[in-house]
Chains A and B, each alone.
Chain A
Amino acid sequence: MLSVPKGPTEQTDALLVRGVSHRFGAMLALDDVSLAVPRGGLVVLLGPNGAGKSTLFALITRLYDNVTGEIRILGHDVRRQPAAALQQLGVVFQSRSLDADLTVLQNLAYHAALHGIGRGPARRKALDALAKVGMDDRVGAKVRTLSGGQARRVEIARALLHDPACLLLDEATVGLDVASREAALAIVRGLVKERGVGVLWATHLVDEVADGDHVVLLHEGRVRFSGPVPDLLELAHAQTLRDAYMRVTVHASAEAL
């Protein structure tokens, strides 16, 4: 068996998921999933389409409640203390979620309001967050005039506006060209170092994973591996991450059969 899930231990991790399963009717979408994202750390949630990444994100963001296990954001239980937990969470969703009819600043002001931030501070925080992603020169632009890469950067700025301890990015580079993808990745990696944000980066693209990253490999709703990239390569007897990823997912699928 290739899976080596390591159980999270720190209560003050930016994000802690422990023993979470979830069903949609008869379909088991997540099966006993555990992972941890430390503060100031980046964890890549790697898995093919349909692995359960979006379901896990829906539970972390409390779009619906987890029935089993626990999910904590900076120690706050998402189900029992949703207000405290969600205040510490910034999210970049897979699908575009900016309002195309509004300007960049109006979109950020709306997000600030959703976190209870008044107009004055909201403007200041918005300009600050936009400067960090290099979009402060497009403050008054309508979102529909932005390129895909620019819109993504605005979404990252929006997710940072309320100073969250934990940032979730769900397939954030889908639909972006290579340059925009690299720019988005560089911004996020910079945030981890400079601001101590804990980042969970969900992707199905193995070339977005750096050698030093901690990887959680999710496949068919189960964590198949959790650890640093070199350990995965060693465990899968693979030269490249792509090979290791294929071996683990194919092996797991064969095992399921």
Chain B
Amino acid sequence: MTVTRTATGTHATAQRLGAASYLACFSGIVWREVLRFLHQRERFLAALVRPLVWLFIFAAGFRQVLGVSIIPPYETYVLYEVFVTPGLVAMVLLFNAMQTSLSMVHDRETGTMRTLLVSPFPRSFLLVSKLMGGVAVALLQAYAFLAVAYFWEIEPPPLGYLTVLPALVLSGLMLGALALFMSSVIRQLENFAGVMNFVIFPMFFASSALYPLWRIKEASPLLYEICRINPFTYAVELIRFALYAQVEPVSLSVVLGFTAAFLAAAIFAYNPSKGLLARRGEPGGGGR
């Protein structure tokens, strides 16, 4: 950094933002997200309890009702709890992404968002960093859930805990990018209940998270088709196979494609010259 001395004081003049600066910015944004999460113990508890309730109560009850045949990646019959675990991990990512979206709408309303957007770094970089911060928090939640689930006889191969990491990151990015885009569309915090009803629940239930797709096809061909166009289905399958150290190429391609599309939409929405915020006169303190 070069410094200019003026008659009355000193200022830093234009500084090239090098790799070290980008790294400092990225780690600062991610660290803040993690720190905020760790400070909010209730949020951590809720994030852990939600999938565990599904695992301990819902899945245990369904064990006797719903049989799961041998379908890849499973090599033998598995308990329903084992089948449903990848779906619940994906649910953790989904809820965390929507929580991030909620906090961004809140940040926009309170003005905190402005401190992020006034940074000299490119806005796309800031948004991706923010997204990665959300993914880092989601990873903490997902691994905490898998750790508890292990004691409930959900025991994927040890290597699976490592190979599932990139699948979690990618799926977290896809859902986070969707949430980021939605945060630009949602005008007020009060509208968030609608997001729960129209996004989270349909995405979760109309997917392969709770039932195998062949079962859904037998029950309702229409619902089957809906599940097939739901990106969440592919996130669940990507995680399911990765947890058993396998790659499911179709799911990988679909999740990659949707991540790129949602991210492009979010970056467009927050673009200072083209985006939705500019047309509305937001974010934060949107008065004249």
Residues on A with beta carbons closer than 8 Å to the beta carbon of B288: 29, 50-55, 221
Query: Contacts A65-B272, A88-B14 known; A109 to B110 CB distance under 8 Å?
Result: no
Residues on A with beta carbons closer than 8 Å to the beta carbon of B27: 113
| Other-chain contact of B112, A61, A81, A99 (Cβ < 8 Å) | A99
Contact with A along B27-42 (1 / 0, CB 8 A): 1110110011001100
Query: Contacts A40-B9, A97-B110, A97-B112 known; A87 to B15 CB distance under 8 Å?
Result: yes
Q: How far is the CB of A71 from chain B (nearest CB, A)?
A: 12
Question: How many angstroms from the CA of A55 to the CA of B286 in the assembled complex?
Answer: 8
Question: How many angstroms from the CA of A219 to the CA of B96 in the assembled complex?
Answer: 44
Residues on A with beta carbons closer than 8 Å to the beta carbon of B279: 24-25
Q: Does any Cβ of B come within 8 Å of A124's Cβ?
A: no
Q: Does any Cβ of B come within 8 Å of A96's Cβ?
A: yes
Query: Contacts A87-B14, A93-B285 known; A101 to B40 CB distance under 8 Å?
Result: yes
Q: How far is the CB of A102 from chain B (nearest CB, A)?
A: 6
Q: Does any Cβ of A come within 8 Å of B64's Cβ?
A: no
A117 touches B24 (CB 8 A): yes
Interface centre among B3, B20, B126, B285 (most CB of A within 10 A): B285
Q: How far is the CB of A143 from chain B (nearest CB, A)?
A: 11
Contact with B along A185-197 (1 / 0, CB 8 A): 0000000011111
| Other-chain contact of B121, A58, A61, A116 (Cβ < 8 Å) | A116
Residues on A with beta carbons closer than 8 Å to the beta carbon of B120: 82-87, 115-116
| Other-chain contact of A94, B7, B21, B29, B111 (Cβ < 8 Å) | B111
B118 touches A63 (CB 8 A): yes
Contact with B along A101-118 (1 / 0, CB 8 A): 110001001111111111
Interface centre among A58, A79, A88, A112 (most CB of B within 10 A): A58
Question: How many angstroms from the CA of A85 to the CA of B119 in the assembled complex?
Answer: 10
Q: How far is the CB of A122 from chain B (nearest CB, A)?
A: 8
A113 touches B29 (CB 8 A): yes
Query: Contacts A63-B277, A83-B120, A95-B284 known; A116 to B25 CB distance under 8 Å?
Result: yes
Contact with A along B7-28 (1 / 0, CB 8 A): 1111111110100111011011
Enumerate A157-180 residues with CB–CB distance to B below 8 Å: 158, 162-165, 170
Question: How many angstroms from the CA of A62 to the CA of B275 in the assembled complex?
Answer: 12
B24 touches A118 (CB 8 A): yes
Query: Contacts A29-B288, A55-B288 known; A61 to B119 CB distance under 8 Å?
Result: no
B118 touches A89 (CB 8 A): yes
Question: How many angstroms from the CA of A65 to the CA of B281 in the assembled complex?
Answer: 11
Residues on B with beta carbons closer than 8 Å to the beta carbon of A165: 11
Q: Does any Cβ of A come within 8 Å of B249's Cβ?
A: no
Specify the chain B residue showing the minimal Cβ separation from A47.
Answer: B288
B14 touches A76 (CB 8 A): yes
Contact with B along A58-92 (1 / 0, CB 8 A): 10011111000000001010010111111111010
Chain B residues close to A by CB (< 8 Å): 3, 6-15, 17, 20-22, 24-25, 27-29, 31-32, 35-36, 39-40, 110-112, 114-122, 126, 272-273, 275, 277-281, 283-288
Which 4 A-B pairs have CB atoms at the shortest separation, nearest pair first?
A113-B28, A116-B21, A196-B9, A196-B8
Identify 12 new A-B residue pairs, CB closer than 8 A, beyond the known A195-B10, A196-B7. A52-B288, A55-B288, A63-B114, A63-B118, A87-B14, A95-B285, A110-B115, A114-B116, A116-B120, A117-B21, A163-B12, A197-B9
Q: Mind listing 24 A-B residue pairs with CB under 8 Å?
A: A40-B6, A50-B288, A55-B288, A58-B281, A63-B277, A63-B278, A64-B273, A64-B275, A74-B14, A82-B120, A84-B120, A87-B12, A95-B111, A97-B111, A99-B112, A101-B39, A101-B40, A102-B32, A102-B39, A106-B32, A114-B119, A116-B24, A117-B21, A193-B8
